[in-house]
Amino acid sequence: MALIRRLPLNPKIDFLGRRKLFLVFSACLMVASLAAVAILGLNLGVDFRGGILIEIETHEPADLADLRRRLGGLDLGQVTLQEFGAANDVLINVERQDGDEKAQIKAIQAVKTELGGLVAEYRRVEFVGPKVGGELKRAGLLATVLALAGIGVYIWFRFEWQFAAAALTALIHDVLSTIGFFALLQIEFNLATLAALLTIAGYSINDTVVIFDRVRETLRKYKKLYILDLLNLALNGTLTRTVLTSVTTLIALVCLFAFGGQVIRGFSAGLIWGIVIGTYSSIGLAVPLLSFMNLRGVAGGEEEEASKAAEGAEEAAAGQ
């Protein structure tokens, strides 16, 4: 508590002086994320690609090599196995079988017969067909696009088009970098991780709106202030609030990642990354982008020129 009380309420950090560095870093991050998706691809879960998912608990610590050898001899196509938390928890992914539902049930039964007495418990057995997986892909993409578009429209009406453009760019940056994070680490991308993407977008825009509101307030209050100094003033005025909000959220997410179990580990890992990158984009991308736009508009620009002319007249009079 004492440390929190010592945090400066209005630090004087020159964020806008480093705006080009921030923008270059953000551009490189987006390009790297797209490259990761293009080269490595996403590790799509059963939700999206279709197939059979079986989670088992074995009596003894699982010998994955032996399990792969056993299931590989069943002629079921691609079969992947991975430990799922404890050493005796195993997740089995089986390629979708040709044929109808009966073919999938037959494959599941073949796996169960082969594993026999090795399994203490079948925790879940799921099958998703290719049609359902395709529909979920389209629905997930549509949900993401509509969410981003809706946020952009809200910011446009709430502020001005310049704010909407900057906020939407920052949101696209956050979503792309998070997708790249999943591709790089090959974390399973399923409906839960899609929900994490939308949660990150909502969290990030909340931070951005708070900062933008301070920018607008500062614009009205300091009509003669140089735009970079004005944006720095607004950022520093909200910095303590932004950092404290992000840190407290991260504490909860780290606990969720560490103790929440393997089922939601990918979800919580994506949220941790998203909160960090979302906080950065609100400070290092959204606001610096505003510095390249005419925030004061035509009328504001004329008023600023008039103010500068008045200041020049005052200086000339003082010199005389």
- pLDDT for 176-188, tens place per residue? 999 999 999 888 8
* Last residue within a domain, chosen from 113, 128, 143: 128
Using DSSP's 3-state secondary structure scheme, residue 301 falls into helix
Q: Compute CA 34 distance to the chain's CA centroid, rounded to the nearest angstrom.
A: 14
Output the six-digit token pair for 156.
Answer: 């446009």
Share of the chain above pLDDT 70, in %: 85
Q: Is the pTM of this model over 0.75?
A: no
Q: What pLDDT, on a 0 to 100 scale, did the predictor assign at position 263? A: 67
Tell me 286's DSSP state.
I
Residues 270 and 163 in one domain: yes
Q: For tokens 């504490």, name the residue.
A: 251
Q: For tokens 């960090």, name the residue.
A: 276
Residues 123 and 137 in one domain: no
Using DSSP's 3-state secondary structure scheme, residue 77 falls into coil
Q: Compute CA 65 distance to the chain's CA centroid, rounded to the nearest angstrom.
A: 35
Q: What pLDDT, on a 0 to 100 scale, did the predictor assign at position 309? A: 43
Residue 305, Cβ neighbours under 10 Å: how many? 10
Q: What pLDDT, on a 0 to 100 scale, did the predictor assign at position 66? A: 83
| Of 2-6, 175-179, 203-207, minimum mean pLDDT range | 2-6
Residues 101 and 232 in one domain: no
Output the six-digit token pair for 254.
Answer: 């780290």
* Last residue within a domain, chosen from 106, 128, 150: 128
- The answer to whether position 311 is within a domain reads no
Q: How confident is the model at residue 26 (pLDDT cuts 50, 70, 90)?
A: very high
Residues 24 and 82 in one domain: no
Listing DSSP states for 105-173 in one string gives: HHHHHHHHHHHGGGEEEEEEEEEE-HHHHHHHHHHHHHHHHHHHHHHHHHHHHHS-HHHHHHHHHHHHH
For the ranges 35-39, 137-141, 188-192, the one whose mean pLDDT is highest? 35-39
Q: What pLDDT, on a 0 to 100 scale, did the predictor assign at position 315? A: 45
Residues 116 and 151 in one domain: no
Cα–Cα distances (Å) from 217 to 240, 250, 298, in that order, read: 18, 29, 18
- The answer to whether position 85 is within a domain reads yes
- The answer to whether position 4 is within a domain reads no
Residues 288 and 150 in one domain: yes
Pairing assessment for the beta strands 86-94 and 51-58 based on DSSP bridges:
antiparallel
Q: What does the alpha-carbon distance between residue 318 and residue 124 come to, in Å, rounded to a whole number?
A: 83
Query: Radius of gyration over alpha carbons of the chain, in Å?
Result: 26
- Across the chain, mean pLDDT equals 80
- The answer to whether position 33 is within a domain reads yes
Total number of domains constituting the chain: 2
Domain that holds residue 115: 51-128
- The answer to whether position 109 is within a domain reads yes
260-297: per-residue pLDDT in tens?
776 678 888 889 999 999 999 988 898 899 888 876 55
